[in-house]
Structure 1
Amino acid sequence: MPFAPLTTLDHLDPERLSRTSQTLCNVFNLPSLHPHQEQAGQNILKGISTILDVPTGGGKTIAFWYSLFYHWQPGNTNENDKKIVLVIGPLVALLRSQASNLNKHGVPAIAVTGSNAHLEKDLMDLGQNKFRVGFVGPEMALSAQFHKHVLNQVPFTRNIICLVIDELHCICEWGTDDLAHISS
């Protein structure tokens, strides 16, 4: 069963919301969350499509993890809590850096790019829900391999709770090769 937003529940659990904020602050060594981070995270939990437009360094990345930490905490091995966030972004070096940073903080993450030495295994591990966060580029997200090994796998589809398009300003560049097929 694919992820169902929490709007089907009466409300978001205030105790879990508080724990989520506190855990994010503890894990990432922050004094507190900004209101826009909490609001964006709660929108995601409610199934509301959300655009978070903040300047570089404004904390959008923490908002990405809010819904994950609502369901799961670092060190939690309960299979029912192992949710996943999928991040699509255009910058391979940034995807790798973010995955490395999350792993250092106890959050199992992987950046799957065309240059991965064990690409098929990495995709299968992502599809089998072995990570809490998966990072991919737009080309990888559109590939047949990604669809076969990740998007068509029940463990992944059962546990994905959020799709993040990072660097949204780049989206106008993705898929522009289609324009070559338009005749005037």
Structure 2
Amino acid sequence: MIRAAILDVDGVLTYFRSAWQHLHRVLGTEEWASLNREAYASGLINYRDWALVDALLWMGVPRSWVEVPVTLRRGTLELLKFLRDNDVLVIAVSGGLNYTGIPIREYINYFISNELVLDNDDSLISVKVNVENKNIVNDLINRLGLDWDYVMAVGDSDMDLPMLRRARYSIAYNPVNEEVANAARIVINSDTLYPLIDLVKAILK
């Protein structure tokens, strides 16, 4: 039985793997962003500092520019509705940005991500870092009094490893590398989420 489903957003519910890079592409700040990524990758700055300097590239941009439309992966809403209709608590978690939660907010119970901070004029001024890694979901699971034996976790990247290793029903969806694939009980490679829906139906039966 599954009582809660933890779903990674970027790369699972969306076609793009990074909400940060997607927004850089939309706003034309990719070149400067690559310098920030190199600084983080080389250890010159930590994750929190990287997020702050990355968000500075969008300083003063209006809300309508940073809350860009998100194309959900085929099957996303069907999956979320099916989980909700079967009384499964749905937790969406992202190392990306909170604009990705807009198209799914009516179908989930919890959404955890980093937050773009706007001023009174609805212009971007900073970012609030909530997710440095997916260990953050452990706090929520404990707070809700849930047991990991009744949790399904779906992820695709290294950031998802903590929850994939703890959840009884762990699924690597289009995993980025072998370590992620090996951390999960089941691996799904697909352009849609329909195979995941079929799997959840089988588990719930």
TM-score, normalised by the number of residues in structure 2: 0.26
TM-score, normalised by the number of residues in structure 1: 0.28
Whichever structure has more strand as a proportion of its residues is 2
Whichever structure has more helix as a proportion of its residues is 1
